[in-house]
Amino acid sequence: MTSAKLIRRPSPDTELAGGEHLHPLIQRLYLTRGITDYAQVNYQLKHLHHPSGFKGIKQAAEQICDAMAQQQRVVVVGDFDADGATATAVVIRALRAMGAEHLNFLVPNRFEYGYGLTVELVAELVKLKADLVITVDNGISSLRGVDAANQAGMSVIITDHHLPPDELPAAAAIVNPNCADDGFPSKALAGVGVAFYLMTVVKQELSQRQWFEQRSLPEPNLTTLLDLVALGTVADVVPLDANNRILIDAGLKRIAQGSCVIGLSALFTVAGCQQASADANALAFYIAPRLNAAGRLEDMGIGINLLLTDDPAEARVLAAQLHDINQQRKAIQADMQRFADSVVAQLKQRAELPPALCLFHENWHQGVVGLLASKVKEFTHRPVVAFALESAESDRVKGSARSIQGLHIRDALVNVSTRHPELIEQFGGHAMAAGLTIKKAKLKDFKQAFAEEVALSLTADLKHRTIHSDGSVATEDLSLHVAELIQQAGPWGQRFEPPLFDDWFIIKQKSLVGDNHTKLTLQTPDQQKQIAAIAFNRHPNDFLEPEHRMHLCYQMMVNEFRQKRSLQLKIDHIL
């Protein structure tokens, strides 16, 4: 494990305007995250950014409305992760509710077609006799695929949030807040957020055309789709700016009230997670992994059908399938992790870790290498690319890259591709995550080129993990009530970090639970309270023996067990 530097967020010297009614700790947490007025955490939907800032959104909406009026065949091309699955479900559900008659969806099997609107996938769209193709959470880099669709007589609307290449596809319309000349204020939208915004404009356009009135159709309330928007936004780990927090908060309220799609409720059931108290953490760690498992190992169509069904019996069957697939994913990942751990153990013997890590094994599963890269990155605090064979017979490998804060992984790949144009065949992604395809024979050359590129940006400060703590918590505030207040003050997530505290505790008890988790009883420094704690993926040997003091970083969590709620500290770091 690399060394870590603890930085305590400074105590704010200002007051939270309009927040006098809040608990002092909640006020402090907001202030240290840049919230200066309580109005900034007023998550009413009326505060959402207006869609008019999107370049291309009106053009896209008009084309969809024309297609509906002409009864064209509309096919939504999704992606094989939770963001893509929820975005697909949002578009299908919205268009169905608005009276579209010829709707279908197609998600590329990652093992046959790869990512996005490829030329090979267009051949499948031809079989479906698609007239209009709407991509969700993909397409901004699909130049060849869009050209093939155009040649086949289809129109393509791209909705995406990934960073665009220098040359954009020749689509009929593009809706992406990250295009260089786009005026939408929030660049942090997930793919599902972009899709949702487009559907609101489609509804406006249809209303102006008196579509609903002429067909005696009720105008649908698209806010009923915000449970899906919340799930996709949390699952994609996008920055939680104010706009995203509004979307997530509204979706979480629907989920907690039981007003979500029945497929989501079925996932909560198989996960053993309390839906009534769902927060962003529950979506991230219990629901999204089960939905993502389908795309990683099999066919994301299972997950999308779960989000589309209104049949409780079918929802239970599909949710159970996803749960089983997720169990398989865990077993595969555990096998892969053992090899990665041996590599990390060898690296630990070095005086200095390399600037970047590239890992490959012929038996690894390409659907799980992204999770593996994340785990190794967390342990080494270095950018990591994990590769797997594209197929058993292929001479190409597919990699998933994960980066550390402060190092833009897609930009690094852009620079590698510019300096070594023969190395990378395809790539795309974000600041923190990316995917790429290269020839297996060029793995060694890529490893060297990637390490050299990262070394140019990897400053001394970036080499060491920085832990930002909200400081200590008074003993009287270490309570279930305050933990509930923290939970309610969310949603917390990327760039609106969950509250993390640090303090010294006396170890009273420790024991192994599960395969590699530690259950603890901790005593506060003033010896006034004993509190339950859990450390995931930590062995009891990582902790000192009882009656010794340890400096720990923790989150205050609400633990629910047999309908009883209690405070539990989740140990994130040992200092």
Span of 332-341, 352-361, 364-373, 449-458 with lowest mean pLDDT: 332-341
User: Does position 2 have pLDDT exceeding 60, yes or no?
Assistant: no
Mean pLDDT value of segment 54-77: 97
Q: Could you read off the pLDDT of 433-488 as tens digits, one per residue?
A: 888 999 999 999 999 999 999 999 998 888 888 899 999 999 999 999 999 999 99
Residue 191 structure tokens? 């793919």
Q: What share of the chain is helix, strand, coil (3-state, %, to 5)?
A: 45, 20, 35
Res 3: pLDDT: 65
- Residue 431's pLDDT band (cuts 50, 70, 90): confident
Res 1: pLDDT: 47
Alpha helices of 209-310 — where are they, by DSSP H? 211-214, 226-235, 242-256, 262-271, 280-282, 288-297, 301-308
Quote the CA–CA distance of 324 and 531 in Å, as a whole number.
Answer: 34
**Contacts of 51 by beta carbon, 8 Å cutoff, 6+ apart:** 57, 184, 197, 198, 200, 201
Structural domains of the chain ordered from first start:
46-323 (3.90.1640.30), 350-464 (3.10.310.30), 467-574 (2.40.50.140)
Residues in the chain, total: 575
Q: Could you read off the pLDDT of 93-146 as tens digits, one per residue?
A: 999 999 999 999 999 876 666 678 999 999 999 999 999 999 999 999 999 999
User: Does position 388 have pLDDT exceeding 90, yes or no?
Assistant: yes
- Is omega for the bond preceding 491 within 30 degrees of 0, making it cis? yes
- Spacing of C-alpha 349 from chain mean position: 33
How far from 558 is each of 10, 23, 268, 378, 470, CA to CA, in Å? 26, 17, 17, 25, 18
44: how many CB neighbours lie within 10 A of its CB?
10
Q: Which among 282, 193, 198, 201 has a CA at the least distance from the CA of 242?
A: 193
